[in-house]
Amino acid sequence: MSDIITVKNLVEVYSDGTKAVDDISFSVAEGEFFGFLGPNGAGKSTTIKILTTLLRKTSGTVTVAGFDVEKQAAAIRRIIGVQSQDTTVDGDLTGRENIMLQGHFHQMKTDEIKKRVNELLKLVGLEEAAEKRARNYSGGMKKRLDLATALVHKPKILFLDEPTTGLDPQSRSAIWTYLEKLNREEGITIFLTTQYLEEADKLCKRLSIIDKGKIVASGSPAELKREIGADSIRISLENCKKDNAKAKELIKTLNDVNEIIDSEECLTVFAKNAGLLIADIVRALDSSDIRIASVTFSSPSLDDVFIKHTGKRIRTEELVKAPSAMLGGRR
Amino acid sequence: MTLLSDTRYVFIRYMRKLVRNPILLFFSLFQPILFLALFTQLLGRLSNFPGVLPVGVSYLEFAAAGILLQNAFGSALQSGNSIVADIDSGFLHKMLVTPMSRPAILLGRLASDAFRVVVQTAIILALAYGIGAAENSPFTVNTGVIGILLIFFTIAFFGLAWSGISLALGMKTRSAETVFAIGGVITFPLLFLSSALLPINFLPGWVQTVSKFNPVSYAVDACRVLMINGYDWGTILPAWGVIGLVAVITLGATLYQFRKVVS
């Protein structure tokens, strides 16, 4: 399969000197479900803004469907669908009107849009709420409507910037179902950013882990996990500030330990047969009077991949927002 | 032709938003009514003093033009809020990732501003007619229907020039509060240091001087002669010239800020 997105040595430096994206290169194949996994401020949104023609890059080469992202921006806009991090439905318009409007912005014929709107309302399960104003939708419904507006012109590539941030688990899994269906049945290439390990693991065929503007690892979730080649034990100490360093030294002396990473709130120990090691660790710490708050054992997860490459756990920050109230106050 | 059709859809969106926000709609319509009632009641007795107003002109007839302008100010200032809201909510970006015409985003907003101010102007004129009839000092536009259309044009043109200030400020500061604060500070002196609400020869000397350089005076005088005197092109054309000049500056600033936001 040919590459539909290619990014080479992309750099974005903001006017205040912040290097939001620091020399990243990657490509996405046509029909692929590709993800960017990283914490807030890693450079995910910045990359999406550049790919969707909203932001000029500082340097590097970026093409989408063979078009240069700056010289041929107009051609790109015809074939991409974008769902931004903020839910951008117009609360004063009904669900149907929101999708219609987006169709008009894509210069589609009115008859064509009307037909498409019905399909989309069905796809995202908003048929019954179609004539209600989006202001009265729940958070999950708004996200689904937003997704529908991004799909009105049958885009070849769909860009989703944290499509499920702030959603309850039920709404999240509903969105996941639509996205998998779109990718599988309609062959839409999907580029998704997320700070949820579970989301990247479940949806993405391939992903890049991004931290502080740099790509630190790439591959399929299975490949990335295999790379670790070890299970992990996560140990939280009651007094981690005081005891972490000492505990690390103690555990290091045990057999079969591959690597220990101190991410402040806990120690993560990578080892081949980690299950057998738990008793040794507990004994060693106990005999040195280090009190353990909790111990968890797991087979390799994307969380471990993230810790291994960045030395810290991914921080998921739930954004608590009330956009409708804010807008109301402004008028 | 995408510019025209895109502008139309942006226009329709803003009209829907206006109509569906009853409080906003109410105040948009109530504000001009309030101004008219307030000023004619406060200052109506001016016509009892000989030499203050032109002979045979009631304060209602005199002040109507000024109130039209005051209303245009208020409406124009809301334009900036709308763009701030669209930037904040991300809706602007949503429009920008589509192939739609960029200028249409601004033109659609400006068209909805113009439409709104024309409707408000019609309401004020109708109400002035009603008050005039009730107080037995008839209010009419001497130049008839064409004169009314020219008044609509002048007010809408002035409103657009002023929308430019709030749009540019909105995009520059990204803050609705700032738009209102700065807008309010600019508006009031301009209105009171002009021929809008009081006869020019009734004002202190320095105010008369300021008034001569005040675009508001030109716009008011043009509307006023169309109501009271007739097609006095020597007043009307310079007014359009002055408004045009203001529009070039404010809409130029808007375009400049818009380019920065868009790129």
Residue A57: DSSP 8-state: -
What CATH number is attached to the domain comprising A118? 3.40.50.300
Give which of B260, B240, B244, B97 is closest to B172, Cα–Cα. B260
Cα–Cα distance, B226 to B234 (Å, whole number): 12
Q: What is the ipTM of this complex?
A: 0.87
Which residue shows structure tokens 């169309």?
A: B226
Give which of A159, A212, A209 is closest to A51, Cα–Cα. A159
Closest CB to B97: pick one of A80, A85, A86. Answer: A80
- CA A165, distance to chain mean position in Å, is 9
Whether A214 and A262 map to the same domain: the answer is: no
Min distance A74 CA to chain B CA atoms (Å): 6
Closest CB to B98: pick one of A106, A323, A326. Answer: A106
- In DSSP notation, B116-136 reads HHHHHHHHHHHHHHHHHHHTT
Answer with the one of A220, A239, A259 that is the final residue of a domain.
A220
Put simply, the answer to whether A54 touches B93 (Cβ < 8 Å) is yes
Whether A149 and A109 map to the same domain: the answer is: yes
pLDDT of residue A287: 87
Residue B43, C-beta contacts closer than 8 angstroms, at least 6 positions apart: B59, B63, B197, B198
Whether A43 and A160 map to the same domain: the answer is: yes
- Mutation to test the B interface, candidates A50, A53, A64, A104, most B Cβ within 10 Å: A104
In a domain, A325, yes or no: no
Chain B from 72 to 111: CB within 8 A of any A CB: 81, 84-85, 88-91, 93-100
In a domain, A310, yes or no: no
In 10 A of CB B177, how many CB atoms? 12
Whether A161 and A274 map to the same domain: the answer is: no
Q: Which domain holds residue A91?
A: 3-220
Residue B151 to residues A78, B192, B219, Cα–Cα distance (Å): 43, 21, 10
What CATH number is attached to the domain comprising A248? 3.30.70.100
Give which of A133, A148, A159 is closest to A102, Cα–Cα. A148
Which residues in chain B are contacts of A325 at CB distance < 8 A? none
Chain A from 55 to 84: CB within 8 A of any B CB: 56, 74, 77-78, 80, 82, 84
In a domain, A17, yes or no: yes
H-helix or E-strand spanning residue A160: strand A157-161
Closest CB to A77: pick one of B90, B98, B176. Answer: B98
Residue A38 to residues A92, A196, A265, A329, B188, Cα–Cα distance (Å): 34, 8, 19, 33, 51
pLDDT of residue A39: 86
Answer with the one of A220, A252, A269 that is the final residue of a domain.
A220
Answer with the one of A220, A240, A263 that is the final residue of a domain.
A220
Chain A from 142 to 201: CB within 8 A of any B CB: 149
Cα–Cα distance, A184 to A187 (Å, whole number): 6
Write out pLDDT tens, residues A154-167: 999 999 999 988 88
The domain locations on chain B are: 2-262
Give which of B56, B42, B29, B69 is closest to B224, Cα–Cα. B69
Cβ of residue A295 closer than 8 Å to a chain B Cβ: no
Backbone angles phi, psi at B222, to 5 degrees: -65, -45
pLDDT of residue A321: 38
pLDDT of residue B44: 83
Put simply, the answer to whether A105 touches B13 (Cβ < 8 Å) is no
Query: Which class for A282: exposed (0-12), middle (13-18), buried (19 or more C-beta within 10 A)?
Result: middle
pLDDT of residue B186: 86
Put simply, the answer to whether A102 touches B24 (Cβ < 8 Å) is no
* Residue A299 contacts residue A231 (beta carbons within 8 Å): yes
Closest CB to B91: pick one of A78, A90, A97. Answer: A90
Which residues in chain B are contacts of A133 at CB distance < 8 A? 20
pLDDT averaged per 10 residues in sequence order, chain B, 263 residues: 91 93 79 83 82 83 91 85 90 94 94 92 91 85 92 96 92 88 86 88 89 93 93 94 96 93 78
Put simply, the answer to whether B85 touches A327 (Cβ < 8 Å) is yes
Min distance A272 CA to chain B CA atoms (Å): 48
The stretches of chain A forming alpha helices (DSSP H) are 44-51, 73-79, 95-105, 110-123, 139-151, 169-185, 197-203, 221-228, 240-252, 274-287, 302-310, 323-330
Put simply, the answer to whether B13 touches A88 (Cβ < 8 Å) is no
Cα–Cα distance, A200 to A221 (Å, whole number): 8
Q: Which residues of chain A have pLDDT under 50?
A: 318-331
In a domain, A62, yes or no: yes
Put simply, the answer to whether B98 touches A74 (Cβ < 8 Å) is no
Min distance B20 CA to chain A CA atoms (Å): 7
Number of domains in chain A: 2
In a domain, A84, yes or no: yes
Looking at residue A309, its amino acid is: H
In a domain, A248, yes or no: yes
pLDDT of residue B57: 86
Tokens of B232: 């006095």
In a domain, A307, yes or no: no
Cβ of residue A330 closer than 8 Å to a chain B Cβ: yes
Whether A179 and A216 map to the same domain: the answer is: yes
Whether A107 and A212 map to the same domain: the answer is: yes
Cα–Cα distance, A77 to A69 (Å, whole number): 10
Min distance B49 CA to chain A CA atoms (Å): 42
